[in-house]
Amino acid sequence: MDESVSLEVISNEGEQLLAYRLRKGVTLDLDFGPKPVLVLDFPLRAISVHPSWSPVLKRLASSDFVSIEEIASCTPQIPLEKTEQFMEYLVRKAFCERRGLLPLRDYPSVSIIIPVRNRRGDLSGCLESLTHLKYQPGKTEIIVVDDASDDDSRHVASKFPVRVFSLRTHKQVSYCRNFAARRAKGEILAFIDSDCVAHPLWLKQLVPSFRDPQVGAVGGLVDSDSDKNALDRYEKVKSSLQVSTWFKRSTDEEPFFYVPSCNLLVRRDLFLKLEGFKEDLHVGEDVDLCWRLQDYGKILEYRPVGTVYHKHRNSLWPFCRRRFQYGTSEPILQRLHTDRIKQLRLPLSELMVWILIAASALLGCAPLLGAAGAILLLDGLSRHARIRKERLPIPFVATFMAVVRSCLSLLYHLCTFVSRYFLILFIALFPLIPYPSAGVFCMHLISGVVQHRTKKPQLNLLAFLALFTLEQLSYQSGVWWGCFRGACVTPLFPRLVFERNPLSRVREYKVTTGRDGQ
């Protein structure tokens, strides 16, 4: 096993050892072919792995969470590092869930960087939380950069064991972070905002990502610190700072992947090579840094652990203003990263189904509905034939239901795109074209209702839709304003990609041990 890794749990800290289990809805088939196959029922997905991993999969299928130590004992011929990589791959592909952490014998030094301006109360809470971090003693430093505050933020910071730098003139947050990074002593830079509170295991749950030398940065979960009013509860599930509920990596073919700077860890040497945050960007600077890091050839990782709790803007005007600012960043980022063009993927069979359904509704022609159903059936038969050819143990019913869900998914994504970028335009055009405008508003409602159902906020549907509408209008106002100022309409009109039978979602993945060419 890897000598840098300790498998002992520090019980007095209440930490759980890293453990995995198969996700609900995942089945294991050991008899279908020469290789074991995992099948996820929703979204329909299959993975075929090398037979060397059969003992691991059998152990996972036989119980609930299994510790990494037990998993590694199933395949003693495979190094622990490879076993963990395999399990993390299954997590990212949604076949497994994980909990706990794998403690390191020796943690890298970390410089925690906090920019602040006129947030004395928030800063005190942030610094207090950092005093409770569970990390290797002597391996952290805290740097506070006071951006010419008008209050006594500097005085508040001086009450804690931190390094404090005060700027004489207001320089904005990117300058403050870069200023601190150049003076930091740690191998890792950990950025957190002054209006955030860190979980005690914040660093311990994120720093192990850097055991992979290709990982340049990692971000963690950003949760809401309050649920007192309706806006708090909305932000709890719909904050722009929330990335995902699943582990993600930039290698998973997501060109727009990024993590927010209020919970971001970066290798210091890499950060300095990239010249840090762009100081002329006052919004979207974290997106830009993450994209440049990926373009440099390094991996960006997100883990839905390592939590910081953010104090969101819980009154309507600041909420709308911030969403507007986020929207203005899209055209700016597009001009900086011209190779990152949004694509709207349109599966031809699903698109034809919805065209026929719409035509049937408009023309009152029932046979068109029958034609739509026939396309679904033929598509299901075609995809199932390919699945059988690939020797995947998926029955036709599951394949057909995946086709239906794919069709519904296309409708949802079209509705979400229209709601995100064109709602405000069609509200303005309602007196001129009432029926198309009403159709767009219905698409907006469909998107909102689906999100209410999937995200399960502690809000009734009407309250959620009201805040959802405010968010969409604020954000797209920012996008349209930014496009107008920058003479750039690319964010509003993505590249349309028409696909034929795109059930690559049901395909065979190959995961190897990394030994002897297997």
Return the pLDDT at 158. Answer: 92
Measure the CA–CA gap between 127 and 25, rounded to whole angstroms. Answer: 42
- 154 and 199 both lie in a single domain: yes
Q: Which two tokens stand for residue 54?
A: 């059969």
pLDDT in tens, 117-126: 999 889 999 9
For the cut 80, the answer to whether the pLDDT of residue 295 exceeds it is yes
- pLDDT level of residue 85 (50, 70, 90 thresholds): confident
- 268 and 150 both lie in a single domain: yes
Task: Specify which residues 45 forms β-bridges with.
Answer: 40
- 120 and 68 both lie in a single domain: no
Strand order through the sheet with 196-198: 196-198, 308-310, 222-224
Measure the CA–CA gap between 392 and 38, rounded to whole angstroms. Answer: 9
- 249 and 173 both lie in a single domain: yes
321 domain residue, yes or no: no
Q: Which residues contact 373 (CB under 8 A, 6 or more apart)?
A: none
Measure the CA–CA gap between 307 and 303, rounded to whole angstroms. Answer: 9
Return the pLDDT at 518. Answer: 35
Give the pLDDT mean for 42-61.
Answer: 88
- Give me the chain's average pLDDT, please: 89
- 37 and 77 both lie in a single domain: yes
Which domain does 246 fall in, by range?
110-314
- 296 and 426 both lie in a single domain: no
- 72 and 114 both lie in a single domain: no
57 domain residue, yes or no: yes
Q: From residue 229, how far is each of 193, 235, 313, 454 by CA, in Å?
A: 22, 10, 11, 21
Give the pLDDT mean for 448-457.
Answer: 96
Q: Are 109 and 140 in contact (CB under 8 A)?
A: yes
Q: Which residues contact 205 (CB under 8 A, 6 or more apart)?
A: 101, 199, 220, 303, 305, 306
3-state helix, strand, coil in the chain (%, to 5): 50, 15, 35
Measure the CA–CA gap between 17 and 328, rounded to whole angstroms. Answer: 43
Which of the pair, 43 or 447, is modelled with greater confidence?
447
- Which CATH number covers residue 116? 3.90.550.10
- 206 and 352 both lie in a single domain: no
Measure the CA–CA gap between 413 and 418, rounded to whole angstroms. Answer: 9
- Which CATH number covers residue 57? 3.90.930.60
For the cut 50, the answer to whether the pLDDT of residue 194 exceeds it is yes
Return the pLDDT at 505. Answer: 42
Give the pLDDT mean for 5-22.
Answer: 58
**Helix 461-486 vs helix 316-336: angle between axes, to the nearest 10 degrees?**
40
Return the pLDDT at 29. Answer: 86
Q: Is the peptide bond before 55 cis (omega within 30 degrees of 0)?
A: no
Measure the CA–CA gap between 290 and 259, rounded to whole angstroms. Answer: 7
29 domain residue, yes or no: yes
Q: What residue type is 25 in one-letter code?
A: G
Q: By percentage, how much of the chain surpasses pLDDT 90?
A: 67
For the cut 80, the answer to whether the pLDDT of residue 507 exceeds it is no
Return the pLDDT at 501. Answer: 60
Q: Are 506 and 398 in contact (CB under 8 A)?
A: no
Give the pLDDT mean for 327-344.
Answer: 92
- 281 and 353 both lie in a single domain: no
Mark which of 103, 120, 154 sits at the end of a domain. 103
- 203 and 130 both lie in a single domain: yes
511 domain residue, yes or no: no
322 domain residue, yes or no: no
3 domain residue, yes or no: no
Return the pLDDT at 32. Answer: 66
Measure the CA–CA gap between 467 and 122, rounded to whole angstroms. Answer: 25
- 49 and 71 both lie in a single domain: yes
Which of the pair, 184 or 63, is modelled with greater confidence?
184
Which of the pair, 460 or 105, is modelled with greater confidence?
460
- 406 and 472 both lie in a single domain: yes
Measure the CA–CA gap between 55 and 28, rounded to whole angstroms. Answer: 12
Tell me 505's DSSP state: G
Give the pLDDT mean for 14-27.
Answer: 85
Mark which of 269, 294, 314 sits at the end of a domain. 314
Return the pLDDT at 307. Answer: 95
pTM: 0.89
Return the pLDDT at 394. Answer: 86
516 domain residue, yes or no: no
Tokens 């993505």 label which residue? Answer: 494
Neighbours of 99 (CB within 10 A): 12
93 domain residue, yes or no: yes
Give the pLDDT mean for 35-45.
Answer: 85
Mark which of 88, 103, 118 sits at the end of a domain. 103
Q: Which two tokens stand for residue 50?
A: 């090398």
Number of structural domains (the chain) is 3
Q: Which two tokens stand for residue 266?
A: 């970066």
Indicate the pairing of strand 215-219 with strand 263-267.
Answer: antiparallel
Q: From residue 217, how far is each of 141, 174, 248, 389, 401 by CA, in Å?
A: 19, 17, 12, 40, 38
Neighbours of 27 (CB within 10 A): 14
